[in-house]
């Protein structure tokens, strides 16, 4: 079996394909990744997760993605969430999605990537929890708004390594103080 590189992401309400920052229009996270970064043309498939409220934004994003010089096949999967800010509900919906997608198309047999900064902050934190707890195997990609990336000299998109052992070292004095109280 040939492993595909599959991007997973949530849609964002009113932020795709473009967003407004500092009074001007800038590419949203998906365009930054799939058009304006070294990841352009890298992915074989893109699974765009949506809730019914973001479906119109998804369709606009897909129209924009199809017109890219190196388009990626994007499919929209609508997940029903009563509250897209409820961590447990998001995790439950993702678990059901992965069960179905893996049973039908062997999704977990492929190389998975997650665009971190799309969707609600709670959706983002669920991705981080799934990754750091080893519940799902995927690589995390984060984009930076173009204006911030240019100012800081950072790339438009980069892979995020969550070095929790390093974080524990950074916070050692804080945790020692807390345990000493």
Q: How many whole angstroms separate alpha carbon 138 and alpha carbon 123?
A: 15
Handedness of CA 171, 91, 31, 3 (dihedral sign): positive
61-105 confidence digits (pLDDT tens): 999 999 998 899 999 999 999 999 999 999 999 999 999 999 988
Q: At what angle do helices 121-132 and 87-105 cross, to 10 degrees?
A: 60
Q: Which residues contact 5 (CB under 8 A, 6 or more apart)?
A: 42, 43, 44, 45, 110, 111, 113
pTM of the predicted protein model: 0.89
Residue 12, pLDDT above cutoff 80: no
pLDDT at 150 over 90: no
- CA dist 52 and 171 (Å) reads 40
For the chain, the structural domain boundaries read 5-180
Alpha helix ranges (H) inside 39-82 = 55-66
> Among 34-48, 92-106, 138-152, 162-176, which stretch is predicted with the lowest mean pLDDT?
162-176
Whether residue 181 has pLDDT greater than 70 = no
The neighbour count for residue 179, using CB atoms within 10 Å, is 7
CATH number of 5-180: 3.40.50.10770
Pair 96, 103: CB distance under 8 Å: no
Residue among 48, 45, 56 nearest 13 (CA) = 56
Q: Helices (DSSP H) in the chain: which residue ranges?
A: 29-34, 55-66, 87-105, 121-132, 146-152, 164-170, 172-180
Please state, as a whole number, how many other Cβ atoms lie within 10 Å of the Cβ of residue 69: 7
For 107-118, what is each residue's pLDDT tens digit? 999 999 999 999
Backbone dihedral region for residue 163 (phi beyond 0: left; psi -120 to 50: alpha; all else: beta)? beta
Compare 21 and 55 and report the one with higher pLDDT: 55
Lowest mean pLDDT among 9-23, 49-63, 77-91: 9-23
Query: 148 pLDDT band (50/70/90 cuts)?
Result: confident
């Amino acid at each position: 079996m040939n492993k595909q590189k599959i991007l997973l992401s949530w849609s964002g309400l009113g932020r795709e394909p473009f967003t407004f920052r500092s009074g001007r229009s800038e590419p949203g996270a998906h365009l930054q990744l799939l058009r304006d970064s070294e990841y352009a043309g890298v992915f074989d498939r893109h699974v765009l997760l949506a809730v019914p409220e973001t479906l119109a934004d998804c369709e606009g994003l897909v129209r924009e993605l199809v017109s890219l010089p190196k388009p990626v096949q994007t499919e929209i999967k609508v997940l029903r969430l009563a509250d897209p800010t409820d961590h447990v509900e998001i995790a439950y919906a993702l678990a059901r999605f992965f069960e179905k997608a893996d049973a039908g198309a062997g999704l977990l047999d492929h190389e998975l990537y997650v665009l971190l900064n799309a969707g609600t902050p709670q959706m983002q934190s669920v991705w981080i929890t799934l990754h750091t707890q080893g519940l799902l195997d995927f690589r995390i990609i984060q984009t930076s708004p173009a204006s911030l990336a240019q100012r800081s000299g950072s790339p438009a998109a980069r892979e995020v390594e969550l070095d929790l052992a390093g974080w524990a070292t950074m916070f050692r004095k804080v945790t020692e103080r807390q345990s000493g109280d």
